[in-house]
Each structure stands twice: as structure tokens, then as C-alpha cells.
């Protein structure tokens, strides 16, 4: 009982504190709108009312350090305007004041639901806020633009707000039954307009129970300066605290001390395995095809599981149902064509986006010219990458919609080197071909089953593939003109096929409760590492195949989550994700609980805390920090167990009055188990041995703090962030079983992002990144190998893994955008002050050496290695033009 009394007293004190906020204001005949803007500045509250409701109202008030409630009572004394303070909102409406405290019978309640679209392109708006000025009920749209809320019978006045758009008002509605609406939001008319409701991410920080989640619009992605002028969703996320790129310029993510394979990348809710081009220099996400993206790094909705560190869900465009539109982009490294429009006006739409690189257009002719100069050597090189996104959407009605989507992405590399030795009439020809990428085909149907229940059914096929072929052919011509030859062919294959079916539902039984639940099944087919070698000689052909084993796995999942707001100052998000993974006669069952909450003890402040468990059944094995076709995706097998991570996180958030700035400080601690890596004895295992014999399992831990200050609206926007990180690993078969720092244990990282819109034509963006260098392993001493003789220093002594940290990394990127009548120019500079950052070291040996005589009389030589820094990317300017139609 004591706890109950304490809780009731706290609830009462908070409600009193809300109306007791003190303000100082003097007004003699001022307009009501100007007075409320001043009160908003002082209190940070949103004053919500219908357009025209306060027209003609002049305010006379003289208040000095008086409670807000008393000041509002004075302002509205003698008028028919009433107010209601609810959390950070003050709702104003005209109507008679209540005259009797007698208890009235509870009115019937009905559900108002619908979809919200962007008027400019008719795409669904994610994260729009819907508010009823009469009852105070509110809702937020989901990934399909759907919202649902319950209101009492009688008058209702809806107001819809979203960052960068004009507020939409329904006017007076007479609610006597369930209602369905379709709303279109128009862009703001002025760059400097103050958006009272703040941005989407501001609302996420202050109102939701999620920790470390953001939403990226297409416009936000395009604002970020990047290498070669290629806007990129992953490189935009690298500016978030707690996210690092690994190697300079790469489109990789290492989140809160995790590895790059611990991030789940999804395209319209379908997982992708390969998300990089050119070794990671570009991501596979074509910005022209993206509508928006959701990113989670600390607390995770129950819907997501399968990776340990983060989840990125990219939503593609549906297409404009009224008119055809598109764009053509020409850059220094690639070109893109995006087009969408109606097939059947207001019913069926299409959206197609194609991107292709120009590298082969430059490199292949250049290699031909070089070969024509040297008659004894013929070298040819070609590389290109391609992305194709295509989507058809059909709207049967306002309640029913179906879509078919296809994605194809591939890298292709071919290298030919032929050398002719005229003195011996011999020639050697080396040919290498590599191609790798993704194919995804999906179909879905979403339906509004009732005003409070929305569902989506999806079926998909996904394939990841990589192939490497290499051949060496030697030809010899004798004096009689007869030709003899030998040819050695090597091949490597890696493939994953997934067949996916899933069902997801959103249910809003009451305003204070939103429930999401669903189930899914995936059939996996893995070909982890098929090797093939063929030796061809005149009259003979020998082929050896290794690891030609396909693994089949079944994965089933079930999840449920609830978002509950029992009072304005508290919000709770709880759920769980259950999964079964069956492979090789063994079944692994895992339950991943999720819990987070948010409280707002005083105005403009929020406190959050949460716990999440995540599970991973598929892992990527790589010998390099860049993305290569030799990387292998493998399932758990043999005696290995699923990877798991347990994470606790907490944060404090503050938004300034008027919501101009949002400040967040988040801390986390993460424990990881059953991690996989190559063992120290990897090179002692036969090359054709099964992959699981080369691995060792271990643990990981990371902890840190993320700090960020953000301004997301107005002509001047930007953010400043700082992250502090410790990340360690321990494996049974590495480093003697002792803990060692992770490779990307970047202790300190600072990001500064600024964007300024001068006018309707020109905008300028800049980012500065500085962080502690990556870790590498370097030997302290080198010994000669007795089997190879003296001076072959092939035996190294290390005092630990990742025992050396590279120098501090920093660079400045700048971009400028000029809008024209039919498009825009983008000018960018990567590494503006040309700081040649160190990405690796190259080993050499000193001229001095020492002689060591052993007790048995044998002699060895030792030399201390000398290391030289390897630097990669200098000052790189670029330009591109986008024509819009």
C-alpha cells in the first residue's frame, strides 16, 4: 500500500507541476497568436488550435513569475475558449465551459483511422503525428502511412503534422461511427518556417520508449557529403555516435563494438546479405529508390531479430498514382535513372530505379591503349557494378493494397594478363573473373481488417551469390609450329538461397495501447565454400572438387510487442521474439525478450532505459576488413551455438523551448556470446577441410556513451556528436584464451555535420570526422625459419592481438548544391584539406640484425621489423547533375 500511495502522490505532484510552470509576460492588446508563441518559447509547450479559432482575439495580461494555468485563466476569462494541458501540449477550443461537476455517462467511442501521404509524390508518410483537438487522442503513422485512434462520440477536429510539411486540419467532424480518412500533406512554403511540432527524430527522442533509433528521409540522405558525390544511406548513418566505418571511405558499419556482419540490412523488410560495391566503397542502396529508412542500434522492436548489433530497414518508393515523374543523374563514377508514375491512374503505380558505374568505360579502353604500346604484354581490366530496383503497387481500395518488388545488384570484375616470351616461343595468360551480388523478388498484400487492425502478408525469394574463376594457361610453340599447352583452372563458389513467408500486424485497441505481432518462416539453402580445380594437358583433364556440400536449414519465428502509455509522463514498450533454427538434425530454440520505458519527470526532459536480447544464426567469415567475393556466409553447424547478445541501455534527453535543439546522452553495456572467428591454427588446417574445423568460438563485450546535439529544421540544420567506446574479444583458440581489444575499438569519435540553405537555389553542407585509429597486430621481433635458411625472416613474435593502434583519423568533406529550373548540381570535395589518413602498415626489415647461438651450437638470425604507414584517399573533388522531370 505504501508504494501505491507514493505512486499516486508522484502522479499528483507531476500534474500540479505541469500547470504550475511559471511565466512572465506583458501584453496590451497583442494578438493571441503572438502571445502563445511567447508562452511556447518560455514553456516549450505546443499550443494546438484550429486555424481561425483565435482570429480577432486581443490579449491584455500582465503576469510576472505566475503559474501558466493562472495566466491562461486570465487570458480566457470572459471568452468561450477552454484549454486543456496534457503533457507538452496545450489544446485550445471554443465551446461552453463545463457548468456542473455532475458525472456524465461515458460516451460511446469510435475509431478514426486512415492513411497519410505526401502530396508532392503521393508516397506514404512514416512517423506523422495525428492529434484530436477535442479529446486529446493521438497516433503516429506506421511504415505504410497507416494510423488508428479511438475518440469519443461527438465532435472531433484532427490536426496532422510532419516535419517539412504544412499542418493539415480536418475541420469539425461529427463522429457517430468508425471513420476512415485519406490525408495528403503539402511541403512547407518557406525555408525558414518554424515547425512547432519539431522533427520526426525529435519526437522519437522525447516521446517514444525506443533508445538509439532514428528515421532518415530521402532528403536527409542526399544532404550528407560523401566520396565521389554518391549519396549513401550507410555513410549517412556513419555520422551517428556509436557507428564507425572501419576502413576509410568504406560503406560498412561497426555498431557499438560489433562486427560488420552483425547488422541486419533489409529492403522492404527482406534481409540482404551483400550490401557493398567495389569492396565497400559504395553501398548497394540506390538513393533514388529510397523513400525513407529506419535505424535501430540500442533498443529493438520485437519484430526484429537475427543480428546482434543493429537493424536498418530501407523502404522503397511506391510511385506517384497521378503523374509520371523521374530523374536522370550523371556523376563521375556512375549514372542513375529513376522513373515512376501511374499504370492505371489512382490504382496501379510503378517505380523503377537503375544505377550503373562508369569504371569499365574508363579502364577497359585505357588497358587496350597500354597493350597496343607493348607488343609483348596484353593487359585488360574491367570492373562495373549495377543496381536495379523495380516495384509495382496496386490499390484495390483504401483498405487493400498489393505490391510486387524486384531488386538485382551485381559487381563484375575481369582481369586478363598475357605475356609473350619471344626468345623461347612461350606465352603465359592469366585470366580472373569475379562476380557477386543479390537477387530479391517479393510480393505482398496489406489490408485494413478493421479500423484498429492493420496487417501485411509477404512472400519473397532472396539469393546471395559470389563466384571467383581464375585460370593460368602456358603455351609453347616448337620449331615445327606445333603448340603444346597446360592450363590450370581454379574456381570458388558461395551461395545462399532464402524462401521467406511472413505476416505482420498492427493492432490499436485503445489510444494508450498499440500492439504489433507476427510470424515468419525462412527456408535456407547454403553453399558456403565450393572449390573446384581443373588441370588440363594435351590428352588429359583432371578435376578435383572440394566442399561441394549444400546445407539446408529451417527458421521459424514468432513475435509480439506492446507500446503502452498509461499516463502522459510514462511510456512502456515490452515484447519478445521467439525463434527456432533447425539444421543438420539439430534444432536451436531462442527467446529474445525486449523491454524499454520512457518517463518525462519535468517539461522538455525525458529519461529512458531498456534491455534487449538478440540472436544470430548466420555469420560472415572474412579474412579482410573490406567486402570481397571470397567472404563466406555460413550457418551455425556442428557443435557451434547461435550467437547471442544481451544489452542494457539508458539515456537522458532534453529539447530546448521551441524545440530548436535536441540533446541526448545514451549509455550502454553489451555482452556477446558464441562469436566465431578463425583460430590461430587456421593455416595448419588443410585448405579443403570443412570450414567449421578452422573456427573457434568466443565472447565479446563492449560499453560506451553516445552524446549528440541536433538541430533538424529551419535554414540551418546539423548535429554534433561524440562517442566513447571500449570493445574487447576473447576466443578459446586465439591469443592464449586472453581478452584482447577488437580491431575497431575506436575509443573516441567526433562527428560534426552542418547544412545551410542560403536560398531556394543554393545550399552548403560539411562534415568533419575525427576518431581514434583502428587497431592492428604487428610483430615485435622476427626470426629466420631454419627450414628455409638464414635471412628468411618468416617467424614472428607478437605480444598480443591488435597490440598497436593507428594514428588519429580526421577529415573534412564539403558539398554544395545548386537547384535549377529542371534539376540540381552537386559539387563535393572529399578530404578537403587532404589529410592522408593511415589505413594500414607495410612491413619491411632493418639492415641490422643479431646472431643468436643456441645451446646445441645452431645459429639463428633475428631482426627487428620496420613498419611504414600506408595512406589511401587524398583530396577528391567530384560533380554530378540531376535532371528532374
3-state secondary structure 169-200: EEEEEEECCCEEEEEEECECCCCCCCCCCCCH
Residue 463 pLDDT level (bands cut at 50, 70, 90): very high
On the question of pLDDT at 284 being above 80, the answer is yes
What is the structure's pLDDT at 530? Answer: 77
Considering only 27-41, 267-281, 545-559, which range has the smallest mean pLDDT? 27-41
Longest dimension (CA), the chain: 118
On the question of pLDDT at 10 being above 60, the answer is no
Read off the pLDDT of each residue in 725-740 and give the average, rounded to a whole number: 90
Position with higher pLDDT, 678 vs 288: 288
On the question of pLDDT at 125 being above 60, the answer is yes
Residue 51 pLDDT level (bands cut at 50, 70, 90): low
Residue 20 pLDDT level (bands cut at 50, 70, 90): low
Q: Tell me the chain's radius of gyration from C-alpha atoms.
A: 31
Per the structure block, which three cell numbers stand in for 667? 549509455
On the question of pLDDT at 818 being above 70, the answer is yes
What is the structure's pLDDT at 408? Answer: 96
On the question of pLDDT at 697 being above 90, the answer is no
On the question of pLDDT at 228 being above 80, the answer is no
Read off the pLDDT of each residue in 644-654 and give the average, rounded to a whole number: 96
What is the structure's pLDDT at 538? Answer: 77
What is the structure's pLDDT at 277? Answer: 86
Residues 6+ apart with CB under 8 A from 142: 126, 454, 506
Residue 282 pLDDT level (bands cut at 50, 70, 90): confident
On the question of pLDDT at 631 being above 80, the answer is no
On the question of pLDDT at 646 being above 90, the answer is yes
What is the structure's pLDDT at 15? Answer: 44
Considering only 200-209, 325-334, 401-410, 702-711, which range has the smallest mean pLDDT? 200-209
Read off the pLDDT of each residue in 365-369 and give the average, rounded to a whole number: 78
Position with higher pLDDT, 162 vs 516: 516
- Cα separation of 40 and 159, whole Å? 18
Residues 6+ apart with CB under 8 A from 100: none
What is the structure's pLDDT at 591? Answer: 96
The predicted-structure confidence for 383-406, as pLDDT tens digits, reads as follows 899 999 999 999 998 889 999 999
Q: Which residue has the cell 511506391?
A: 318
Residue 607 pLDDT level (bands cut at 50, 70, 90): very high
What is the structure's pLDDT at 692? Answer: 66
Residue 626 pLDDT level (bands cut at 50, 70, 90): low
Read off the pLDDT of each residue in 779-784 and give the average, rounded to a whole number: 68
What is the structure's pLDDT at 7? Answer: 40
Per the structure block, which three cell numbers stand in for 420? 609473350
Read off the pLDDT of each residue in 125-132 and give the average, rounded to a whole number: 86
Tell me if 230 sits within 8 A of 687, measured CB to CB: no
Position with higher pLDDT, 343 vs 247: 343
Read off the pLDDT of each residue in 496-513 and give the average, rounded to a whole number: 93
What is the structure's pLDDT at 558? Answer: 97
Residue 833 phi/psi, 5° resolution? -100, 20
What is the structure's pLDDT at 99? Answer: 52
On the question of pLDDT at 595 being above 90, the answer is yes
Residue in 59, 24, 130 with CA at minimum distance from that of residue 514? 130
Residue 13 pLDDT level (bands cut at 50, 70, 90): very low
Question: Where do the domains of the chain lie, and which CATH numbers do they carry?
Answer: 20-94 (3.55.50.30), 109-197 (2.60.40.4130), 325-884 (2.40.170.20)
On the question of pLDDT at 70 being above 80, the answer is no
Read off the pLDDT of each residue in 512-524 and give the average, rounded to a whole number: 95
Considering only 55-64, 358-367, 551-560, which range has the smallest mean pLDDT? 55-64
Q: What percent of the chain has pLDDT over 70?
A: 86
Residue 19 pLDDT level (bands cut at 50, 70, 90): very low
* Distances in whole angstroms, Cα of residue 312 to Cα of each of 268, 297, 410: 10, 9, 21
Read off the pLDDT of each residue in 469-492 and give the average, rounded to a whole number: 79
The mean of the pLDDT values for the chain is 83
On the question of pLDDT at 550 being above 50, the answer is yes
Tell me if 61 sits within 8 A of 75, measured CB to CB: yes
Number of C-beta neighbours around residue 596 at 10 A: 26
What is the structure's pLDDT at 457? Answer: 96
Burial 610-624 (b: 16+ CB within 10 A, else e): bebbbbbbbbbbbee
The DSSP output letter for 779 is: -
> Which string of DSSP letters, residue by residue, matches 22-43?
EEEEEEEEEEHHHHHHHHHHHH
Chain centroid offset of residue 743 CA: 21
Read off the pLDDT of each residue in 603-613 and give the average, rounded to a whole number: 93
Read off the pLDDT of each residue in 286-293 and give the average, rounded to a whole number: 91
Long-range (24+ apart) CB contacts under 8 A made by 71-80 are 71/23, 71/25, 71/39, 75/32, 75/35
On the question of pLDDT at 3 being above 60, the answer is no
- Cα separation of 606 and 656, whole Å? 12
Read off the pLDDT of each residue in 575-592 and give the average, rounded to a whole number: 94
Read off the pLDDT of each residue in 294-320 and give the average, rounded to a whole number: 93
- 3-state SS assignment for residue 10: helix
What is the structure's pLDDT at 296? Answer: 95
The predicted-structure confidence for 520-532, as pLDDT tens digits, reads as follows 999 999 988 777 8
What is the structure's pLDDT at 742? Answer: 92
Read off the pLDDT of each residue in 544-560 and give the average, rounded to a whole number: 87
Per the structure block, which three cell numbers stand in for 335? 549514372
Read off the pLDDT of each residue in 408-416 and give the average, rounded to a whole number: 90
Read off the pLDDT of each residue in 653-680 and give the average, rounded to a whole number: 88
91-105, 126-140, 191-205, range with greatest mean pLDDT:
126-140
- The pTM score is 0.82
Read off the pLDDT of each residue in 145-160 and give the average, rounded to a whole number: 88
On the question of pLDDT at 708 being above 90, the answer is yes
What is the structure's pLDDT at 45? Answer: 74
The helix, strand and coil proportions of the chain, stated in percent and rounded to the nearest 5, come to: 10, 60, 30
Position with higher pLDDT, 836 vs 440: 440
Amino acid at each position: 500500500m505504501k508504494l501505491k500511495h507514493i505512486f499516486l502522490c508522484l502522479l499528483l505532484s507531476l500534474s500540479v507541476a505541469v500547470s504550475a510552470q511559471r511565466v512572465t509576460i506583458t501584453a496590451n492588446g497583442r494578438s493571441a497568436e503572438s502571445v502563445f508563441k511567447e508562452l511556447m518559447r518560455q514553456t516549450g509547450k505546443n499550443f494546438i488550435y484550429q486555424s481561425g479559432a483565435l482570429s480577432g482575439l486581443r490579449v491584455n495580461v500582465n503576469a510576472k513569475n505566475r503559474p501558466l494555468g493562472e495566466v491562461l485563466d486570465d487570458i480566457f476569462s470572459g471568452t468561450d475558449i477552454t484549454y486543456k494541458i496534457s503533457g507538452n501540449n496545450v489544446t485550445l477550443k471554443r465551446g461552453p465551459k463545463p457548468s456542473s461537476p455532475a458525472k456524465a455517462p461515458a460516451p460511446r467511442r469510435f475509431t478514426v483511422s486512415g492513411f497519410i501521404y505526401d502530396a508532392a509524390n503521393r508516397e506514404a508518410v512514416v512517423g506523422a503525428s495525428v492529434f484530436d483537438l477535442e479529446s486529446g487522442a493521438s497516433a503516429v503513422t506506421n511504415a505504410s502511412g497507416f494510423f488508428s485512434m479511438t475518440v469519443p462520440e461527438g465532435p472531433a477536429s484532427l490536426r496532422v503534422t510532419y516535419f517539412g510539411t504544412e499542418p493539415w486540419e480536418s475541420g469539425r467532424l461529427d463522429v457517430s461511427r468508425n471513420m476512415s480518412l485519406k490525408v495528403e500533406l503539402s511541403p512547407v512554403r518557406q525555408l525558414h518556417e518554424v515547425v512547432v511540432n519539431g522533427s520526426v527524430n525529435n519526437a522519437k527522442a522525447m516521446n517514444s520508449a525506443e533508445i538509439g533509433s532514428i528515421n532518415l528521409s530521402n532528403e536527409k540522405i542526399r544532404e550528407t557529403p560523401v566520396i565521389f558525390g554518391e549519396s549513401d544511406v550507410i555513410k549517412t548513418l556513419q555520422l551517428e555516435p556509436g557507428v564507425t566505418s572501419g576502413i576509410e571511405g568504406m560503406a560498412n558499419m561497426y555498431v557499438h563494438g560489433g562486427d560488420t556482419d552483425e547488422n541486419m540490412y533489409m529492403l522492404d523488410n527482406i534481409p540482404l546479405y551483400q550490401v557493398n560495391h567495389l569492396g565497400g566503397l559504395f553501398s548497394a542502396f540506390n538513393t533514388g529508390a529510397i523513400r525513407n529508412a529506419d535505424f535501430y542500434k540500442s533498443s529493438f522492436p520485437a519484430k526484429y531479430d537475427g543480428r546482434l548489433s543493429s537493424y536498418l530497414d530501407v523502404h522503397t518508393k511506391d510511385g506517384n498514382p497521378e503523374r509520371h515523374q523521374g530523374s536522370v543523374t550523371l556523376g563521375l563514377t556512375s549514372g542513375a535513372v529513376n522513373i515512376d508514375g501511374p499504370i492505371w491512374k489512382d490504382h496501379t503505380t510503378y517505380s523503377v530505379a537503375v544505377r550503373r558505374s562508369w569504371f569499365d568505360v574508363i579502364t577497359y579502353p585505357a588497358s587496350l591503349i597500354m597493350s597496343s604500346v607493348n607488343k609483348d604484354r596484353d593487359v585488360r581490366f574491367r570492373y562495373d557494378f549495377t543496381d536495379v530496383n523495380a516495384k509495382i503497387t496496386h490499390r484495390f481500395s483504401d483498405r487493400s493494397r498489393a505490391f510486387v518488388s524486384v531488386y538485382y545488384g551485381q559487381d563484375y570484375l575481369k582481369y586478363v594478363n598475357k605475356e609473350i616470351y619471344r626468345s623461347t616461343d612461350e606465352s603465359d595468360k592469366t585470366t580472373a573473373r569475379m562476380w557477386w551480388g543479390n537477387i530479391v523478388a517479393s510480393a505482398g498484400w496489406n489490408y485494413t481488417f478493421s479500423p484498429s487492425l492493420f496487417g501485411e502478408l509477404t512472400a519473397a525469394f532472396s539469393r546471395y551469390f559470389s563466384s571467383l574463376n581464375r585460370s593460368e594457361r602456358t603455351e609453347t610453340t616448337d620449331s615445327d609450329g606445333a603448340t603444346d599447352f597446360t592450363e590450370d583452372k581454379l574456381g570458388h563458389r558461395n551461395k545462399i538461397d532464402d524462401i521467406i513467408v511472413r505476416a505482420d500486424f498492427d493492432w490499436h485497441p485503445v489510444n494508450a495501447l498499440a500492439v504489433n505481432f507476427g510470424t515468419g518462416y525462412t527456408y535456407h539453402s547454403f553453399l558456403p565454400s565450393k572449390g573446384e580445380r581443373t588441370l588440363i594437358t594435351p590428352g588429359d583433364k583432371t578435376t578435383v572438387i572440394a566442399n561441394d556440400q549444400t546445407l539446408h536449414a529451417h527458421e521459424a519465428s514468432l513475435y509480439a510487442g506492446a507500446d503502452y502509455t498509461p499516463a502522459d509522463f510514462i511510456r512502456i514498450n515490452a515484447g519478445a521474439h521467439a525463434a527456432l533454427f533447425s539444421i543438420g538434425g539439430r534444432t536451436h530454440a531462442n527467446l529474445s525478450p525486449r523491454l524499454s520505458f520512457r518517463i518525462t519527470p519535468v517539461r522538455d526532459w525525458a529519461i529512458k532505459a531498456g534491455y534487449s536480447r538478440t540472436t544470430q544464426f548466420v555469420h560472415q567469415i572474412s579474412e579482410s576488413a573490406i567486402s570481397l567475393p571470397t567472404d563466406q556466409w555460413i550457418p551455425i553447424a556442428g557443435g557451434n551455438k547461435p550467437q547471442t547478445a544481451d544489452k542494457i541501455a539508458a539515456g537522458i534527453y532534453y529539447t530546448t523551448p521551441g524545440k530548436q535543439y535536441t540533446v541526448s546522452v545514451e549509455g550502454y553495456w553489451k555482452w556477446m556470446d558464441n562469436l566465431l572467428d578463425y583460430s590461430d591454427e587456421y593455416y595448419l588446417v588443410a585448405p579443403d577441410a570443412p570450414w567449421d574445423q578452422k573456427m573457434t568460438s568466443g565472447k565479446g563485450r563492449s560499453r560506451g556513451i553516445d552524446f549528440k546535439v541536433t538541430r533538424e529544421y529551419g535554414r540551418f540544420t546539423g548535429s554534433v556528436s561524440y562517442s566513447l567506446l571500449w570493445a574487447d574479444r576473447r576466443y578459446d583458440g586465439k591469443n592464449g584464451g586472453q581478452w584482447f581489444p577488437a580491431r575497431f575499438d575506436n575509443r573516441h569519435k567526433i562527428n560534426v555535420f552542418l547544412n545551410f540553405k542560403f536560398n531556394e537555389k543554393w545550399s552548403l553542407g560539411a562534415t568533419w570526422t575525427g576518431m581514434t585509429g583502428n587497431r592492428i597486430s604487428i610483430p615485435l621481433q622476427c626470426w629466420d625459419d631454419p627450414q628455409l635458411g638464414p635471412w628468411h625472416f618468416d617467424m614472428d613474435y607478437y605480444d598480443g592481438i591488435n597490440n598497436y593502434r593507428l594514428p588519429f583519423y580526421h577529415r573534412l568533406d564539403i558539398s554544395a548544391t545548386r537547384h535549377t529550373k529542371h534539376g540540381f548540381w552537386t559539387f563535393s570535395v572529399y578530404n578537403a584539406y587532404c589529410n592522408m589518413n593511415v589505413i594500414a602498415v607495410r612491413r619491411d626489415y632493418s639492415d641490422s640484425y643479431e646472431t643468436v647461438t643456441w645451446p646445441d651450437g645452431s645459429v639463428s638470425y633475428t631482426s627487428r621489423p620496420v613498419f611504414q604507414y600506408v595512406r589511401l584517399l587524398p583530396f577528391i573533388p567530384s560533380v554530378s547533375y540531376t535532371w528532374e522531370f
